[in-house]
Amino acid sequence: MRQTWRWFGPADLASIDDIVQAGAEGVVSALHHVPNGVVWTAEEIGKRQQQVRTRKDGSPSGIAWEVIESLPVSESIKKQKGDWRQHVENYKQSLRHVAAAGLRVVCYNFMPVLDWTRTDLRYTVAHGGTCMRFDINDFAVFEIHILKRVGASEDFAPEVVEEAARRFTTMSEAAQQQLARNVTMGLPGSTESMTLDDVRAHLAEYEGISPDQLRGHFVDFLSEVVPVAEEVGVRLCCHPDDPPFPLLGLPRIMSTAADYRHILDAVDSPANGMTLCSGSFGARPDNDLPAIMDEFGPKVHFLHLRNVKRDTNAISGSFYEAEHLGGDTDMVALIAAILREEARRKRTGREDAQIPMRPDHGQDILDDLARRAQPGYPTIGRLKGLAELRGVMTALSHREFGLH
């Protein structure tokens, strides 16, 4: 695996110097300041590449921007409303520009409204560090009692509805506001939350759009952009829903192996692939991560390696982001499956035999606790995760594949 590190740009508390010292071989980044649906220009792409290539003192960093995460798909495209056709054309042009700059892997998602959802961004674990957590009962508090979404109580188990009512009666106004901010944090590259009215407006836009319709919109999008990606040599890779079950009454269509099977078969191309996120898939118990890697390996173009610990085996349940080797996913078995796929690619002469991975998220530990970095992206916690993953990868490579 090629070891990469996510970087949000010059405002990121983790600097390029830090990334070099962590031993990462490349950088994952995006143009977060460019609005969704707008063309990524060659000039802006070049600026980000230069930033990655340069240390604080102006000397060469020795690393490069290698993976885009994300080139966002606009809400207009997902809903097929407004300027969605122009947004598709702009996406194609962005793909041409990133390819001309030498970038080959583009991660994106097709989640309606919110990119990811958590109820607690600073959940304290046993060792005193913090992490992100999704609590189904707190989310029910938000949906039923704070957002007051019509019909929300019907989407939760009766015991969850009852517990949410109990929690809401004891929750202060400040706690309610904090919960709403946590849930509506928005895109990973942003520090701004949507207001409740913003959320309601977005939800209203999706009224009448069923899962099957959203799948149809996704296939329409891919039918347009995948041929361009093929032409210019870019590998698109869709990130799974996070978490991988329905929320807010919205359709969620990329949560399971069956979901990916449908989309990858509908537009069958080496340029149409998967971002295998072990944390997102791992949040529901019926997703077998090593089996998913074995099945979709040839079309896995990017890897997010993180772990979660589930409270129960409910499909829609609570979980927190565990240490990379400490959650419910057997990370050793998953890495073994990844290495098998890489060995197969090497035997067949694929130029992308080495799959880029990054240590996804991490727990805030040590000095991270005072830094208050982007939620999920502490420097030391990710460094620890990368070291653990690197150790597993190295050990398995020597033992099972005779690699040196």
Q: Is 131 a catalytic residue?
A: no
Residues 91, 108, 206, 377: which is the catalytic one? 377
Residues 202, 241, 277, 301: which is the catalytic one? 277
Residues 12, 120, 360, 364: which is the catalytic one? 360
DSSP per-residue string spanning 171-218: --HHHHHHHHHHHT--STT--PPPPHHHHHHHHHHTTT--HHHHHHHH
The residues near 77 (Cβ < 8 Å, ≥ 6 apart) are 37, 84, 87, 88, 91, 217, 221
The residues near 386 (Cβ < 8 Å, ≥ 6 apart) are 3, 5, 22, 23, 24, 359
Residues 260, 304, 324, 364: which is the catalytic one? 304
Residues 123, 135, 361, 368: which is the catalytic one? 361
The verdict on whether omega for the bond into residue 94 sits within 30 degrees of 0, i.e. cis, is: no
Please report, for the chain, how many H helices and E strands are present, in that order: 15, 12
Q: Is 277 a catalytic residue?
A: yes
Q: Is 377 a catalytic residue?
A: yes
Residues 97, 239, 301, 324: which is the catalytic one? 239
Residue type, 146: I
Q: Which residues participate in catalysis according to the annotation? A: 239, 277, 304, 360-361, 377
